[in-house]
């Protein structure tokens, strides 16, 4: 017996498990009124309510058209009335054009609000928003950032930056905490902060830098060290060594 035949005989018991099981006639849901077959009992139940019992759950908002299925109402409103906002929120009646937008609306508008103010009926989802609201009762104004051009003051640094850019046209809104130097971007501010780092000097020349990596890279100029080799360089070097050995071996013969 060949290896293929042995493998087929050993795995023959798996064939019934891998093939899709055919449903028996008694397991298929069948409508008792019209003898129509369905894939599930849920589809059969919906068929009985809609077709035989003439049950109506949804109605068009523009005319008297009614249906048991919500998709039928959506298709009717799109095709007959040209209304694309066919997904309606059951809690507030808000209408959207897709089910995804409806879910986002329900998540944002009808999500339970866990935080409640102890002095009024104000509710909020975020702790920062509640703290900001409570200041309206206490009168506290913890301003940390003040405008240099007008009396405005801000609690958040980002709000101060937007005010400086939009109102006064000042783009130097990134400030160094050590020396007060201002720049127009975070990248320039990071480059400036390196000037506050201790200066590192080379022991063999006058080279100096504030970065350890740059100093280690510079030292290799004096030592001649080349620690980085690409795979192509290693393969090429091995090839040349093999060809050189074959060449001298031929000369010896």
**Residue linked to tokens 């783009």:** 171
pLDDT at 235: 67
- The confidence score (pLDDT) of residue 141 equals 65
Confidence of residue 253 (pLDDT cuts 50, 70, 90): very low
DSSP-assigned states of every residue in 54-118: ----EE-SSSS-EESSHHHHHHHHHHTT-----EE-TTT--EESSHHHHHHHHHHHSS---EE-S
Domain 145-196 has CATH 3.30.160: yes
Q: Domain ranges in the chain?
A: 58-109, 112-140, 145-196
Model confidence over 189-228: pLDDT tens digits? Answer: 888 887 787 778 888 888 888 777 788 888 888 888 776 6
pLDDT at position 54? 75
pLDDT average, residue stretch 29-38? 84
The mean pLDDT value for 50-72 works out to 79
Q: Which fold does the domain 58-109 belong to in CATH?
A: Double Stranded RNA Binding Domain (3.30.160)
For the chain, the average pLDDT equals: 77
CB atoms within 10 A of CB 207: 15
What pLDDT was estimated at residue 52?
81
> Tens digit of pLDDT for each residue in 98-143?
888 888 888 777 776 678 888 888 887 777 778 878 877 876 766 6
The whole-angstrom separation of Cα 218 and Cα 210 is: 12
**Rounded Cα–Cα distance for residues 179 and 106 (Å):** 49
Average pLDDT over every residue of 16-23 = 52
Cα 104–chain centre separation: 15
Predicted pLDDT at 227: 67
Q: pLDDT tens across 65-87, in order?
A: 888 777 888 888 888 888 878 88
User: Can you tell me the distance from the alpha carbon of 200 to that of 192, in angstroms, rounded to the nearest whole number?
Assistant: 16
R_g (Cα) of the chain, nearest Å: 38
Q: Report the pLDDT value the prediction gives residue 8, as an integer from 0 to 100.
A: 60
Closest C-alpha to 194, from 176, 182, 206, 180: 176
Q: Are 104 and 82 in contact (CB under 8 A)?
A: no
For residue 122, what pLDDT is reported?
85
What pLDDT, on the 0 to 100 scale, is given for residue 2?
A: 60
pLDDT band at 11 (very low <50, low <70, confident <90, very high): low
10 Å CB burial of residue 86 (0-12, 13-18, 19+) is buried
Share of the chain above pLDDT 70, in %: 80
Q: Answer whether residue 59 shows pLDDT above 70.
A: yes
How far apart CA 61 and CA 73 sit, in angstroms, is: 9
* Topology match between the domains 58-109 and 145-196: yes
């Amino acid at each position: 017996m060949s290896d293929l035949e042995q493998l087929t005989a050993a795995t023959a018991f798996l064939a019934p498990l891998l093939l899709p099981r055919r449903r028996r006639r008694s397991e298929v849901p069948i409508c008792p009124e019209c003898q129509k077959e369905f894939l599930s009992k849920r589809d059969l139940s919906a068929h009985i309510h809609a077709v035989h019992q003439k049950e109506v759950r949804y109605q068009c908002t523009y005319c008297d058209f009614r249906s048991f299925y919500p998709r039928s109402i959506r298709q009717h409103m799109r095709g007959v009335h040209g209304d694309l906002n066919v997904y309606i929120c059951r809690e507030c009646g808000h209408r959207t054009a897709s089910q995804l937008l409806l879910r986002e609306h329900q998540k944002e508008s009808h999500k339970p609000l866990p935080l409640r103010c102890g002095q009024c009926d104000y509710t909020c989802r975020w702790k920062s928003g509640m703290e900001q609201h409570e200041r309206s009762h206490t009168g506290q104004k913890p301003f940390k950032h003040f405008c240099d051009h007008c009396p405005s003051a801000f609690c958040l640094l980002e709000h101060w930056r937007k005010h400086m850019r939009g109102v006064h046209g000042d783009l130097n809104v990134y400030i160094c905490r050590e020396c007060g130097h201002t720049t127009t971007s975070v990248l320039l501010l990071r480059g400036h902060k390196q000037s506050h780092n201790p200066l590192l000097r080379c022991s063999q020349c006058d080279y100096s830098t504030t970065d350890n990596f740059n100093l280690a890279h510079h030292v290799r100029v004096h030592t001649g060290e080349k620690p980085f080799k690409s795979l192509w360089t290693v393969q090429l070097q091995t090839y040349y060594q093999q060809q050189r050995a074959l060449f001298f071996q031929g000369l010896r013969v």
